[in-house]
Structure 1
Amino acid sequence: MPVFVLTGAVLTGCATKPRQLMPTPVLYQEPNGPALFEDIAVQRQRPEVDLLFITNRAADVNSENGFPYGQARRKGIVFGSAQVRLVPGIDWETLQTQSRLAERTREVDLELGAVQELGAFPHEPYTIVRANESTLSRDPIELRAFVETKTAFQKDIQRRLAMSPKKEVMLYVHGFNETFATSAFTAAELCHFFGRDQVCSFFTWPASSTGNFLTSYTTTTESAEYAVEHLKKTLRMIATTPGVERLQLLAHSRGTAVLLSALRELMIEAIAKGVDPADAYRIYNVVLLSPDIDVDIAGQKITGFVSDPDLTIAWPDDKLPRLLNGRLSIYASPDDRALLVSRILFRSRNRVGQLRPEDVSPGMQAYFGNLGRVDLITFTGERTDLFGHSYFTTNPKVSSDLVQLIRYGKKPGDPGRDLLRTGPATWEFRAEADSR
């Protein structure tokens, strides 16, 4: 039975339903795959995955499902530690062996363990104090609480960095129909197969996961908008933590819209200060997985700074700012059935997560090719999950490509990334026959 520690209170709940650990990515599969774990600190050589979580979900102390945070919105951010256990009981050596098998010889499941809240930012909006008729200021008590909580947050990141071979933070943002537990599971299995050599974290927002599907999706859409401001603050605090060298950002489904909106606001902040966003926020890779976002809206968020000359008018020689040091990678599948619902609800011509290379016009191919660092990667093939929406974890070929990108920093076309170029900015996975 998991234990939840929320701002001093100890709560217990029913164990969340376990989920099977994702299949082993192709590159690790024995006998020729690289080592899964290298230079990992002794204190981290244990089956449990300790994640840093950040959330604007309200605490759900009466949850019958054992979730520490539910679907209601909190007016502010909290952070803490979430343990994801691997069950039935398994030792470190056995886990390493099972994690490299294409066909495992024993069951390995994920289960939510202890969740401890380590800090809570003041409720928003912060109190305003009127000094006189013309002067307003923030309440000094709340401002002090903010500074103390931010300091605690950054110190926890630094504590985790000290145990991590790579001085980088991987942050995962989930999509629709996800709970605190399911988002923790995905972050944990990604962390596991990225080699556990980063600070692993997830940002979880109050996506709806119960009730009427259509009503639930509408609620989620507005909660996603509500989450943008909190994710923006989270990214800013992580990026300014001393010792953080890189941010690796991954988002799935509707979470991609949250991430793109937050990044757009941060980039405008940096550009207005005359600073390259890539330097200000240390962002390396941004990965959009099965993006549930309209093509035109996504394009506007990604290229808006280019199409607004007034934004960079003060920059020398009409120079364009660098947005990231790595790549923007978009994984899409025309067979993604979950996104069909979004197309109907929003009457969207197309969702980014269903794009094929031929859907990208020659003009846009040339544009993104010239911009550089933007890759649309299309997957077609056997569906490995019910709706074909989570292939980045359920398909070993796709997850292998993702590991090559995040862990090893490989570009499309590099050895190990089995992709076929279809245009200046588009790629697709090779068919099995072409891979031989």
Structure 2
Amino acid sequence: MVALAVLLLAGCAVREVMLAPPPNLYLDGQNYPTDEVPEVLRNVSPLMFYVTDRAPEETGEGKLLYGTERSNSMALGAVQVQFGAADWEDLVARTSVDGGGRISQLDVQEASELVRFADVPLRTRRQDGALIFEPEALRTYQATGRAFQEAIRAEIARTGNRRVLIFTHGVRNDFDRAMATLANLWHYEGRSSIPIAFTWPAGNSGLLSYFRDREAGDFSVYHAKEFLRLLAEIPELEDIDIVAHSRGTDVMSTAIRELVIYHRGRGVHPKTAMKGGTLILAAADLDIGVVEQRLQTERVSEAFEQINVYVNPSDGALRLSAILTSVPRLGSVTPDEVLREEIEQLKTSELVHFIRVEQVRGRGHSYFRENPAVLSDIVLALRTRAFPGGTLRPLELGEDGFWQLHPNYPLERLPDLLRVEGSDR
């Protein structure tokens, strides 16, 4: 039973490096916001970015690869993702529901490192009773941080996009799958941000792979925190949106929590310091008790405009995780496990919205990029910044306090939605 559970928990993996089926939102080629896509991004092989603490590997041909080994240093890199389309117009056609059912292959091309940080922890020494970093080691690290920021600033200048979209994956995901999933989210969102994948050393094989990947996620928290801190310190950058899936929700939420504590200690409001926009937690493999004791207690939601938690009570991977840990997981929570009063409190005071996904096929764990209804709501949340339930995100509120995401969402309200969006342009 344990072996079967571990194999099913591997459902975090996104096995097909493909463009996902189009969101319901895009009924025809006219609905994709082509006119809003920066001219330099209207192509089928866009430049995308990654930050990783996977150890670099080289093939006999000198090609840079990233596997499952850990690195004590993180790196910023760039890679082109080739969409399987003849040209931009062909890709826009494939992006729509009536595009003939043609799904594009995604080819993640060779990665190139732009900046590599020094190993952490930095050397330290004791001075006047305090433990301080060695000045030279600290200067080198800070100079690398500035180089990291300059690379992002150059992309802001090139594209005009002043928002960043971060994607963090779960277990059993390799580097290429992480980049391909980000490509899906970013392309359907309308390419209005700078796409960066935070990819940690997941993808271990074997019977205990799930547990090895969990430990690798714990290892990566510090690098995730530094990544977010350096991004937010870029003056030209306005908002940071984060989409985290499965065990990646633990990596990112722990890093966010540490930053919230750090900035409050400095006397700076977390939202101002962190530039948090929309945080999306999909199929979150998080212990509900830990969420309450560590995230809610520290008021982590104060760092964001809103937090959207997508849940599927039928998520097979998370149900097995709950059996193994004897604790319910956030991504498969039911109204019986979260009191109605607490849901209402989270929605009104902390701007946390629980969204229940209906009629998910299969094991129901990777729906955030495979389900056209879920993908539609994620796109609307990122594009419009709207809360659930309004004209721009016409979700229905259930009696239990969960927002309901029907399989045909938002088709029943699409004409009104497009009229409102059109009036805003």
TM-score (norm 2): 0.86
Q: How does 1:230-241 map to 2 (within 5 A)?
A: 230-241=223-234
Q: Deviations over 1:163-204 (max 9, x none)?
A: 334411111111111001101100111110111111111100
Equivalent residue, structure 1, for 2:389: 413
Q: How many residues align?
A: 397
How far is 1:420 from its partner? Answer: 1.5
For 1:60, which of 57, 62, 66 is the aligned residue? 57
For 1:422, which of 375, 383, 398 is the aligned residue? 398
Question: Would you identify which runs of 4 or more consecutive aligned residues in structure 1 move more than 4 Å?
Answer: 132-137, 431-436
Is 1:167 matched up with 2:162?
yes
How far is 1:368 from its partner? Answer: 1.5
Report the RMSD for the aligned CA atoms in angstroms.
2.5
For 2:380, which of 401, 404, 421 is the aligned residue? 404
Equivalent residue, structure 1, for 2:354: 376
Aligned mates of 1:333, 1:118 — CA distance in 2: 39
Aligned mates of 1:429, 1:41 — CA distance in 2: 31
Aligned mates of 1:193, 1:434 — CA distance in 2: 15
Is 1:50 matched up with 2:50?
no
Q: Deviations over 1:395-432 (max 9, x none)?
A: 11110011110111121012243421125852111365
Equivalent residue, structure 1, for 2:151: 156
Q: How does 1:100-111 map to 2 (within 5 A)?
A: 100-102=96-98, 104-111=100-107
Aligned partners of 1:378 and 1:428 also within 8 Å: yes
For 2:316, which of 327, 331, 337 is the aligned residue? 337
Aligned mates of 1:140, 1:388 — CA distance in 2: 50
Is 1:38 matched up with 2:35?
yes
How far is 1:387 from its partner? Answer: 2.2
More helix by share: 2
Aligned mates of 1:55, 1:262 — CA distance in 2: 14
Equivalent residue, structure 2, for 1:216: 209
Q: 1:148 aligns to what SS in structure 2?
A: helix
Aligned mates of 2:135, 2:344 — CA distance in 1: 53
Q: 1:177 aligns to what SS in structure 2?
A: coil
Aligned partners of 1:191 and 1:200 also within 8 Å: yes
How far is 1:136 from its partner? Answer: 5.9
How far is 1:153 from its partner? Answer: 0.7
Report the CA distance shift for 1:74/1:325 in structure 2 as closer, same or farther (over 3 A): closer
Is 1:138 matched up with 2:116?
no
Q: 1:378 aligns to what SS in structure 2?
A: strand
Equivalent residue, structure 1, for 2:183: 188
Aligned partners of 1:37 and 1:196 also within 8 Å: no
For 1:247, which of 240, 247, 253 is the aligned residue? 240
Aligned mates of 2:313, 2:384 — CA distance in 1: 27
Q: 1:163 aligns to what SS in structure 2?
A: helix
Structure with bigger RCO (C-alpha 8 Å, 6+ apart): 2
For 1:113, which of 92, 109, 112 is the aligned residue? 109
Aligned partners of 1:18 and 1:111 also within 8 Å: no
For 1:23, which of 21, 24, 34 is the aligned residue? 21
Aligned partners of 1:54 and 1:77 also within 8 Å: yes
Query: Any stretches of 5+ residues in structure 2 without a counterpart?
Result: 1-14, 413-425
How far is 1:143 from its partner? Answer: 2.4
Aligned mates of 1:263, 1:119 — CA distance in 2: 23
Query: Any stretches of 5+ residues in structure 1 without a counterpart?
Result: 1-16, 307-320
Equivalent residue, structure 2, for 1:318: none
> What residue identity is the alignment partner of 1:160?
E
Q: 1:159 aligns to what SS in structure 2?
A: helix
Aligned mates of 1:276, 1:91 — CA distance in 2: 45
For 1:94, which of 81, 90, 93 is the aligned residue? 90
Aligned mates of 1:430, 1:41 — CA distance in 2: 32
Q: Deviations over 1:304-358 (max 9, x none)?
A: 125xxxxxxxxxxxxxx9713410110010121121331232222x111112334
How far is 1:49 from its partner? Answer: 2.8
Aligned mates of 2:271, 2:133 — CA distance in 1: 31
Equivalent residue, structure 2, for 1:6: none
Aligned mates of 1:223, 1:129 — CA distance in 2: 28
Aligned mates of 2:407, 2:186 — CA distance in 1: 28
Aligned partners of 1:41 and 1:163 also within 8 Å: no
Report the CA distance shift for 1:433/1:342 in structure 2 as closer, same or farther (over 3 A): closer
Aligned mates of 1:136, 1:297 — CA distance in 2: 31
TM-score (norm 1): 0.84
